[in-house]
Amino acid sequence: MGSSKQDKTLIESKSLHVQIKDTSVLKGLSFRVAKGEIYALLGGNGAGKSTTLKTFLGFNQASSGAAFIDGLDVSSSLASVRKKTAYLPENATLYPHLTAKENVEYFLSLAGLNKSASEIENTFDLVALQKDAWERQLQTYSKGMRQKTAIALAILREAPIFLLDEPTSGLDPVAIDEFNQLVTELASSGATILMVTHDVYGACQVANRIGLLRKGELVGEFEANQNERIDTEVVHAAFAQRQP
Ligand SMILES: Nc1ncnc2c1ncn2[C@@H]1O[C@H](COP(=O)(O)OP(=O)(O)OP(=O)(O)O)[C@@H](O)[C@H]1O
Ligand SMILES: [Mg+2]
C-alpha cells in the first residue's frame, strides 16, 4: 500500500479539461496512479466520473491538458493505449443469447486474441463464476454473474491497466466483497486500477488512494497508509460536505 516517488506512473491526468457541447465537464483534473495501485475516483451523479474514464480511452477529447496511459498521450497514441487498457463500462455490453464461454471467446477473437479452453476456465474460477453457469446464456445470469464474466474477459485480455466504471453498482454486499477481494488480488499481482464510484464504503475498502471529484474538479485526495485503510467516516463527511 502507499506510494513513493520512484513508483512508475501508469495512469495520469494532467490539468485535463473536457468540454462536451457547451458544458465544461472536466475542469483541470490532475491525478496519478502508480503501477500496482488502486485509485478510486469518488463523486456524485454528474460529477464527471464516466467522462474521465472515457477520456482515457479517447472517446472524449481533451480541450486542454492531457491524459496519459503508461506515459503515452491518449490523443496521439490511441491504438497502443487501448491495447494496454481493459475497460469495464457502466453497463457492460455482453450478449444475452451467448453463454459466458461464447461471449468471452467472441470478444477475445475481436481483440485478435486466442485463449485455450483451460485458460478461460481458470479465469472463470479466478473470478468465482460458478461452474454450472459457464455454458448458460447470459440472459439467465444475475447482475453479479454478468459482472464476473466481464471481469474475466478483462483479465483474459491481459491488459495491465483496468478502468472500471461503477463496477459494484447493483451488486449485493456479498458480491461486492468478492469483487473487492478480486480487485485487491489483481493489484497485488501488478495490475493498475482506476475505478470510479459513488460508493464511499467500497472505495475505502479497496483503494490506496481516493480522489474526490465534484463538478469536474478534484476537491480532495485521501491516501491509505501501510497499516490502515482510508477512514470511511472522513471521506463520507468530505463527500457530503459536512464535518466528520
Ligand atoms: N454526451 C454528452 N452530452 C451532453 N452532456 C454530457 C454528455 N456526457 C456527459 N455529459 C454531462 O457531463 C456531466 C458529467 O457526466 P458523467 O457521465 O461523466 O458523470 P458521472 O460522474 O459518471 O455521473 P453518474 O454517477 O450519474 O454516472 C453531466 O452533467 C452530463 O450531463
Ligand atoms: Mg457515470
- pLDDT, tens only, 198-218: 999 999 999 999 999 999 999
Single out the residue of 35, 37, 18 nearest to residue 27, CA to CA: 18
Q: How far is the CA of 50 from the centre of ligand 2 (A)?
A: 4
Q: Is residue 130 part of a domain?
A: no
Q: Which residue is closest in CA terms to ligand 1's atom 5?
A: 20
Is 6's pLDDT higher than 70? no
* Nearest-angstrom CA–CA distance, 232 and 221: 13
pLDDT in tens, 170-187: 888 888 888 899 999 999
Judge if the beta carbon of residue 42 lies within 6 A of ligand 1: no
3-state secondary structure 90-153: CCCCCCCCCEHHHHHHHHHHHCCCCCCHHHHHHHHHHCCCCHHHCCCEHHHCCHHHHHHHHHHH
Q: Is residue 129 part of a domain?
A: no
Is 2's pLDDT higher than 80? no
What is the atom index within ligand 1 of the atom nearest the CA of 166? 27
- How many domains does the chain contain in total? 1
CATH of the domain at 218: 3.40.50.300
Domain around 172: 9-91+160-239
Count of CB atoms situated within 10 Å of the CB of 90: 14
Q: Is residue 140 part of a domain?
A: no
Q: How far is the CA of 213 from the centre of ligand 2 (A)?
A: 12
Mean pLDDT, the chain, rounded, equals 93
Q: What is the CA radius of gyration of the chain?
A: 18
Q: How far is the CA of 142 from the centre of ligand 1 (A)?
A: 27
Q: Is residue 149 part of a domain?
A: no
Is 91's pLDDT higher than 50? yes
Question: Residue 98's pLDDT band (boundaries 50, 70, 90)?
Answer: very high
Q: What is the mean pLDDT of residues 138-148?
A: 91
Q: Is residue 111 part of a domain?
A: no
